[in-house]
Structure 1
């Protein structure tokens, strides 16, 4: 293939152009976290739940309400996105914008750097402040070591869901699929069964999120296994991969924990109730050095992920 033919093939590959354009725009002009449309979605989810989730109803009624509420919000978003896609003049730009809104790579990196700085300075208050928007557990009762473990898990899963999952579903179904994935993850977060009022109502949302997560996060976990300590990491996956309550995040935590010999998981307190969680990974409690290692590992593997996805989109001519 000549150089001109190669350039022409790139220019005509709208999926690849939208991917690269969204990644570039995300780093040059990220959507401020406080102004992100997902915050409105999150508040709307809480509002709807307050109207249809009634604790006095029986188990099956609350479970049905959870499925119906999820379908109402998610399918409405699907219909609106499909309708808008039929009206836009530049489909590639539309897909680029949707992927740009769905990605949260820079925020995950910023969280990692800020938490590492606070953790290295033994600033428990700042660590709690940084983690509060991202976790449902009681951060006030966590020791500094507990905050380190919670921070490590949060950073790992933030990269997994807000970058890897988004890019995976973009490759499957374009920008609309990427947005719908983020909306589903946001519903699982808003209606988390770890909160007392959503123990039953939130199960549909977390089950659907688990189904959407299982393929991208497990693929990324296998990518993490490559290189140094690969044999130990793969052995850890075989031994502990199915222990976690969610199959996708479980693999990702196990792979990262064994790769860096870090101790993850373990008991956690939600709503002042101690929840027993399996211990994953190695034996070393995360320190500031390990938070930096997690950041480096995630970044390196994400570059590989983007490269592989770009090659697939190039050879298969995209999905748009």
Structure 2
């Protein structure tokens, strides 16, 4: 026990990660008060001002410049503030706390599973609406099960696993910038007509940032029971989804639990054709609880793996 304490204390990055996880689990940010919500709203206001071109190339250029306008000043302010902080570890801790969102993911899962189990469609729609871009008004219980399961998977993948991965690469600032980039991609998602093609640069950047962490999580999900079947289905289905990281993760979880994911979705009243992923079982409240359990255990395993890797790097192994 003393050796573990000495390792955490001597390794500042490892101490920050475990401290952030502990603080987040004890005192999480309410979703409504999270800086990502304000960031998301500001991104939508900016898009209203600059997303006015009808030309494809001009919209792409506007989207690229708008992304830079959001990210570059934020990064500049962060690095300008860093020398003013008396303890660098506290600086990293603050930004990792702002980036990670595990408790709200679990809270959404628990509330949504309860609503599905009661067949309370209105409650389920109310819970789902703030966290997705798709239209929820016409969703049946089957559609709500699929949408809720996909949302839970991607929330674990990005708001927890992706944040921890990028923390390991570049510290708390990298984790925070990744989280803000994800919020920009969601705010300007080209799946909605008004942000196509304006939001394509933002979604491509996040696709690049997601490429390694989400595929790594997909491989961790595949390990164990049905691993060969999961890998086979990834090879067969992943290419049919537009984003490589999310495709691997969705297929991996769907194949592991034989759940049917993907399929058509409605955005701003217009039907979008999406590939079907995973197995054949329509997700219900029970299946969504199984997804949450599966991913939570994979998160715990990754925390231990990342801790060992960070300790090894720090000791020069």
After TM superposition, the score normalised by the length of structure 2 is: 0.97
The answer for the alignment partner of 1:157 in structure 2 is 154
| 1:206 is the counterpart of 2:212 | no
Alignment of 1:97-246 (within 5 A): 97-246=94-243
Structure 1 residues without counterparts, runs of 5 or longer: none
Q: Structure 2: which 5+ runs fail to align?
A: none
2:35 alignment partner in structure 1: 37
Match of 2:72, SS state, is helix
Task: Name the stretch that deviates more: 138-147 or 20-29.
Answer: 138-147
Aligned counterpart for 2:48 among listed residues 36, 50, 66: 50
Q: Deviations over 1:24-81 (max 9, x none)?
A: 00001101111111111111111111111104x4111111010001011111111111
Q: Which residue of 2 aligns with 1:28?
A: 26
**What pairs up with 1:274-293 in 2 under 5 angstroms?**
274-293=271-290
Which whole-Å CA distance do the structure 1 matches of 2:284 and 2:210 have between them?
A: 28
Q: Give the equivalent residue in structure 2 for 1:16.
A: 14
Q: Which residue of 2 aligns with 1:67?
A: 64
Q: Partner of 1:316: helix, strand, or coil?
A: helix
SS in 2 for 1:264: strand
Q: Structure 1 residue 276: deviation in Å?
A: 0.9
| Aligned match of 1:251 | 248
CA distance in 2 between partners of 1:24 and 1:130 (Å): 26
* Alpha-carbon distance in structure 2 between the residues aligned to 1:5 and 1:297: 31
Q: Deviations over 1:77-103 (max 9, x none)?
A: 111111111221111111111111111
Q: Does 1:298 align with 2:298?
A: no
Distance 1:10 1:197 in 2: 48
Q: CA deviation at 1:5?
A: 6.3
Deviation at 1:215, TM superposition (A): 0.6
Question: Comparing 5-14 with 80-89, which one deviates more in the overlay?
Answer: 5-14
| Alpha-carbon distance change, 123 to 6 in structure 1, aligned in 2, over 3 angstroms | closer
CA drift at 1:268: 0.9
- Which residue of 2 is the match for residue 260 of structure 1? 257
Residue 8 of structure 1: how far off its partner (Å): 3.4
* Root-mean-square deviation over aligned CA pairs: 1.4
Count residues in correspondence: 316
- Where 1:140 maps in the other structure, the secondary structure is coil
Matched, 1:317 2:314: yes
| 1:157 Cα deviation from its structure 2 partner | 0.4
Once the two structures are superposed, residues 239-274 of structure 1 have per-residue CA deviations (whole angstroms, 9 ceiling, x without a partner) of 112221111111000000000000000111112211
Question: For residues 296 and 7 of structure 1, what CA distance do their matches in structure 2 show?
Answer: 29
1:10 Cα shift?
A: 2.8
Give deviations 1:162-211, integer Å, cap 9, x for gaps.
00110000000000000000010000011111222111111111111111
